Structure 1
């Protein structure tokens, strides 16, 4: 029986949100389970973990350099210090299982658990795994992955543990999609009867998405759509200026159909009202859109190790999304592909149904099953 568990992960929402989803599922099953989270003092977990009612133990960040730098020489000392803190957290909490979600804090947790003979469960969110999880998977007792084909030994597909708000939206849409849409539209000041395009580049935004979509603002509005454009922090002014320029002489009310915000904390409300999403293809957004059955245009981040293109692969292959390279995302491309799509509700519905075939709605429960099975 599971009495105590240590979860390790942090830095970005991609690590923290699945961690919290699994923690919440374990606590739902057993309210008295002791949950300790290993994270950093500077990551998103420093705010979100205590807010969810879980104890956070902070460890020093231990970046694993991908190429020779001065950090190579600092790594042994940093790693020893972090493993020591992780080991103390395991000992003091009496953790029976260590669950890692990747990121800087995962490696010390995996090493400390291995030294103590504590079983390790790994969850890898991306189709191309990170360094920490590639290391930990060598001795982990269970390896869970979001996407099929993720190259980790013994990997089993569990999907991504969904944030509670998104999991609740999945259930609400199943019960009454029209009501969920109407209620969200009212909260956002949108018209539930209009085809709605959601544009998001994440919390930091994506300049290429902002520029390309703002360049077809007039076309989107002429097509009868309304747009909720989340630009990212500090990136809204340019989009607002572009929209103002094309709506200055429009009839009353047209400009109100193009809503520009830097960020939306209640992202599930935007997902409830969207008919088509234009977004990057991080594991989180891809998994959430597939679980909700929402069609999307995915624009993978053009830097990094290419995992975003791989993340979108299954849903695109199923017909639930369209993939376009960042360099090819232009106003002309959007006119040729997105405007006709908005005029074809049957195709949008078919894409949504196709996306749903590869979506996973119970990822948190699947990972929790692995954890409980090792306790």
Structure 2
């Protein structure tokens, strides 16, 4: 949770100065909360709000604030309703979760049994959130975000770039001193399965309006984008599957997929997008050679001569998917995810892609870092989406 909270706080210009991890010792935790609240303006804790006796964040916070725990009736109502909706009896131990330090503001939990709370301790606002990440996110979004922003937000200008096919180290070489801590605008980057998310932040030292800072950030992002072409694929949306869905809808065309090494990840990514039913026609998982032949018409001779992981088979898979579905765009993947099965000619991490667009088929070869089977599969899924996005954009605005 700490990394995600640091990212969320950075959106307001709040810099995380310290991250601490403590065990389930009430006295030690109380002392740490008191120490942090004496030296910082905002302290956020996650975890320790469950119903069991080793969930002691409530007790430790009350001890740090020198107040008692009290039962909150809104928390009781929410807790009873949670169990009633599930048709399950509530264990009496769960009543521990309705107790919060006196003087706290309850942070209601719409997705679980553990409410959070906010309390002034020392010079700080202390916020306690549940440990399960999906619960922490829900409470942050529903109520904590607005409260923190109102009190701590700093004027910022922001601009984003999303890249594919560039390593983080190569990006750092190009960005140079613009990534140095304290630079203004400052550039930060995170990597995820072949994608780079770049954030340009202009602070202005407290000077300048939000519009002026935004303009500074955009200008810096524009300059960086010119240096990074053609790797920049978006400025407003990093999720490749959403961008592909957007382009498909704009053109009114259908997509089909034929997957071997990605085993359904490509179809899964596309069908996770709301509204994709208007564009996603169908998909095939054709892992075995026999499946490639019987389902998509790949010729046995082609497989025998070139092997399943080849340009020729990737092209045949994409063509077969397009012909059988009637989709204008068809994508295929065939590769060696590992950890075994590679060779000198085709090492682990080798993946061929087929892209079929309106009767024309192209293939692409990529070699991903070996060693982690699931990472190779995720890389390949994103690569296929990026290739599909590129094909759609190159096709222009023609509609079927």
- What is the TM-score with the length of structure 2 in the denominator? 0.26
Greater relative CO (CA pairs within 8 A, separation 6+): 1
Greater fraction of residues in helix:
1
Greater fraction of residues in strand:
2
Larger Rg over CA atoms = 2
